[in-house]
Amino acid sequence: MVIAACGLEQPGPGVAVVVPSTVADDQSMGIDPALEQAVDAPADAGVDPSLPATSVATGPEREVRSPGSRRPTVADLPDTVAVVGDSLTESAVAEITDMFEGVGIDVLVVDGAQNRRMTHGNLPLPGTVSIDEIAAHAAPDVWVIALGTNDVGSEQSPAQFRADAQSLLSHVPAGAPLVWVDLWIRDRQPAIEAANAELRDVIERRPDSIVADWYSHGDDHGLVTADGVHLTDDGRNVFAIVMVDAVYDLFA
């Protein structure tokens, strides 16, 4: 588990502490310097300071959505976020932290672990246990869940996937806003599409919840490694932006 220093209890042995990067005093856009390096917009581009720059250059023809007038102002966004995921999240801790901190959302926890599933397993501990541990020490204003890839990889049926997703959601504090990042595995498209359909149906039934669309970026050039699952450098940036963009949509 990676825990940002934001008032949580002192982590135990083996837990790394990440101090979020601060926004420079002379930064007129409200963009974290690390975030600014990742976005496809110069600092003097005249961007509305109430909106984050969320365009990432990942190739000559690739651009992720830029914020529009429908987006909420920074003042409307939550103050804090907790993220629970698997190896994709683990690989993108820095990018996730920088992107959220860059729009003024304090990252309380980014907990990613290889081979993590929603409700099954002991090593690593499943998502349900991670959520329980975080909720015991903090009350984030929004939760981001990025789990399910390993459940599909374990050839779980759509019905079992749905049941496990519902079980995991029962561990999230009632009424807490939530974003769940959907799934992409290049070589298991029928199973992924079935799982994503179940996930969307479950999330649509939960108040103040939304699905973040990573699936539509899975086959974008240069975002996923040769194994068809894990993230490249550009992929880690876009994965983080997908999370932040969904939070904007949820609070719009």
Q: What is the pLDDT along the chain (252 residues), one digit of tens a residue?
A: 444 333 333 333 333 333 333 333 333 323 333 333 333 333 333 333 343 433 333 333 333 443 343 556 666 899 999 999 999 999 999 999 999 999 999 999 999 999 999 999 988 899 999 999 999 999 999 999 999 999 999 999 999 999 999 999 999 999 999 999 999 999 999 999 999 999 999 999 999 999 999 999 999 999 999 999 999 999 999 999 999 999 999 998
Q: Reduced to 3 states, what is the DSSP secondary structure of residue 22?
A: coil
- Domain definitions of the chain by residue range: 2-8+50-251
- Residue 67's alpha-carbon distances to 37, 47, 49, in angstroms, are 17, 10, 11
Q: Domain 2-8+50-251 - what CATH class? A: alpha beta
Q: Reduced to 3 states, what is the DSSP secondary structure of residue 3?
A: strand
pLDDT at 71: 57
